[in-house]
Structure 1
Amino acid sequence: MKKVAVFGKPANGKSTLSKKLASATGIKLYALDSILYKPNGEEVTRKSYEEAHESILSSEEWIIEGFGPMNSLDSFNKRLEEADTLIYIELPYFVTYWLVTKRFLKGLFIKPEGWPDGSSVLKGTLESYKVLKLCPQFWNDGFLQRLEKLSEGKSLHVIRSVSELNSFVEKNVQ
């Protein structure tokens, strides 16, 4: 486990899991939202994002958490190819909708885990709901089949419950 990609739907615990994994392994964590957004919440230029992403991929070790720009699958696919460990968090949709709502309510008082500085929690929550509505077009059985083929020679973990999510690091990091 030297190059780890952690991905899945919004609010599925990617940031929390990735922080625990980075702490347990000593591998540097890169949250994609922190390179995709400026401190004021605006997206950086595509060129700036791609340069930062390429720089991370060229490192010897990394944990990259997140999906990246919604309108481009290139960086996501490249990350999956470069990774030796793929962690796909696929919680049921009713759980995900609850977690987005919970993150919003909690975010009224404290900044959510992994949330870009200066970004509106309300705006981000509304965007998360929009993304969730579109998720079945991407995060589906066809994606899982492609992922299984891509993962030959890699370690693939598909997390489907909150209890699996909470115990992942304890069970998978020696």
Structure 2
Amino acid sequence: MNKVAVFGKPGSGKSTLSKALAQATGLPLHPLDSITYQPNGEPVSREMVAAAHEGILSSDRWIIDGLGPLGLFYQRLEAADTLVYIDLPYSTSYWFVTKRLLKGLFVKPEGWPKSSSVLKGTLASYKVLRMCPQFWNEAFDAKLTALASNKTLYRIKSVAELKRFVGEMKGK
């Protein structure tokens, strides 16, 4: 495990899992939000994102969590030796996004751009969640299965599995 792509719907626990994985393995963590957004929450140009992404992919060891532009996402899946797909039910993702908003009123969420609005980010997460069935579907599953033929794939489908995986990573 040297190049790890962690991905899933908004509010699925990617940041929490990625942080535990980075601590357990010593791999450098690159949250995609920190590449695609400025500290104030404004988007970074596609060119700058692509250049930063390419720089990370060309290194020997990394964890990248998030989705981002689809072309870069598929490059990341190709380059990774380990894929961690957090595939929680939609109701759970909606709850986690809402919970993140409520907690975010008091403490900035993990991995959140420093000066960005938690409310604005939450509304964007709800919007993305509504659009997710267009992407996270049988066609994506078929692509993922083909991509994962020579990689390690972890597919986490419940909160219990997510907690167990994070606990195992913290225990390493």
Which TM-score tier does this pair reach, normalised by the shorter chain?
over 0.9
Contact 1:14 1:65 in 2 (8 A): yes
Query: Hey, what does 1:165 align to over in structure 2?
Result: 162
Q: Could you give the per-residue CA deviations for residues 24-80 of structure 1, whole angstroms, max 9, x where no partner exists?
A: 0000000010011111110011111111000000000000001113xxx11000000
2:6 counterpart of 1:6: yes
Any unmatched runs of 5+ in structure 2?
A: none
CA positional deviation for 1:169? 4.2
SS in 1 for 2:109: coil
Of Structure 1 and Structure 2, the greater helix share is in: 2
Question: Residue type matched to 2:6 in 1?
Answer: V
Query: Hey, what does 2:72 align to over in structure 1?
Result: 75
2:44 counterpart of 1:44: yes
* Identity among equivalent pairs (%): 63
The number of aligned residues is 171
Q: Please give the root-mean-square deviation of Cα atoms over the aligned residues, in Å.
A: 1.2
2:148 counterpart of 1:154: no
Give the direction of change, closer, same or farther, for the CA distance of 1:171–1:110 in structure 2 (3 Å limit). closer
TM-score (norm 2): 0.96
Q: Distance in 2 between matches of 1:45 and 1:127?
A: 18
TM-score (norm 1): 0.95
Map 1:92-107 → 2, pairs under 5 A: 92-107=89-104
Q: Distance in 2 between matches of 1:169 and 1:2?
A: 18
Contact 1:90 1:160 in 2 (8 A): yes
SS in 2 for 1:125: helix
Query: Hey, what does 1:132 align to over in structure 2?
Result: 129
Contact 1:50 1:75 in 2 (8 A): yes
- Runs of 4+ aligned structure 1 residues displaced above 6 Å come to none
Question: Residue type matched to 1:86 in 2?
Answer: L
